[in-house]
Amino acid sequence: MRDIPDNYSLENFKYDYQLRAPLDERQITSSSDREKLHGWVIDLFPNLKCSVQTRILGCYYLDEFLLKKPEINPQVHQLAAVICLGIALKFEENITLAPKNISELFNNRYSEENVTTVELYILNALNWRLAQITPSDVIRSLIFATCEKGDLTKIIEKAELFALVGILSNKTAKYREEFLAIACISLALKTLGFLLFLEEWWISVSKALDISRQDIEIIEKTIINLVS
């Protein structure tokens, strides 16, 4: 997660994230097993004390791995999912999910050496590019650019939860990070009751970024249907 300067503006955001059509440009595997796998690893660690942004980053690692290595044995997918979360934990929060712990999680079906081998396989598939732009980065950048400085934690946390829901579903994970993030911020402001500010926010955002509110609302409605 990169640092955001205090004077960060919509112009800075526009420069950093060049929004362009189409909305659904992010590539993911189309398999229905993708949703099951993402849901499984989330359910596996319900009490894991890590941030939502770390979970989202782990999902991004897993998506890239599945896309680049479709030939991998499906029986190893669950192991890969846990390792991807472990890599995200280490990168974002300096928390280590050791090979021994992962091996024990699978009742020692995979040895510590197996775990290490698959981890290296995943890192190579990622080209060791661990710093990736996710909806969390975009959410934080856009909120800092458009909201008065203060305690923005509730808005960020709510938007990131919506983003996680969006990432878990094939219907919305296909959308690019910028558009998914905008939809999630809009939903967060709406559900937190900032309705008047939401209208002002949309005027400035749509004008500065030249985006259609109607297009973003399609994403919003899909996410709402997923959580309903």
* pLDDT reported for residue 46: 67
The residue extents of the domains of the chain are 10-23+133-227, 45-125
**Cα gap 183→136, rounded to integer Å:** 12
For residue 227, what are the contacts with CB-CB under 8 A and spacing of at least 6?
162, 165
**83-93 pLDDT per residue, tens:** 999 999 999 99
Number of helices and strands in the chain (H, E): 12, 0
Taking a C-beta distance cutoff of 8 angstroms, is the pair 90, 60 a contact?
no
45-125 and 10-23+133-227 share a CATH fold: yes
Q: Is the pLDDT of residue 66 over 60?
A: yes
Asked whether the predicted pLDDT for residue 5 surpasses 60, the reply is yes
Hey, what's the torsion of the CAs at 60, 62, 65, 67, to 10 degrees? -70
Helix (H) or strand (E) holding 43: helix 33-44
- CA angle 86/88/91 to nearest 5° reads 110
Cβ–Cβ under 8 Å, residues 65 and 80:
yes
Q: How many CA atoms lie within 13 A of 187 on its CB side?
A: 28
Q: Token match 């030939």: residue?
A: 71
CATH code, 45-125 = 1.10.472.10
Distance CA 220, CA 182 (A): 9
Separation CA 225–CA 228 (nearest Å): 5
Length of the chain: 228
| Angle, alpha carbons 47-155-34 (nearest 5°) | 50
Token readout for 215 is 């297009």
pLDDT, tens only, 195-205: 999 999 999 99
Quote the pTM value: 0.89
Q: Which CATH number does the domain 10-23+133-227 belong to among 1.10.10.10, 1.10.472.10, 3.40.50.720, 3.30.1490.20? A: 1.10.472.10
Condensed to tens digits (0 to 9), the pLDDT of residues 42-57 reads: 887 766 778 899 999 9
Query: Which tens digit of pLDDT belongs to each residue from 115-171?
Result: 999 999 999 999 999 999 999 999 999 998 888 776 789 999 999 999 999 999 999
The dihedrals phi and psi of 184, each to the nearest 5 degrees, come to: -70, -35
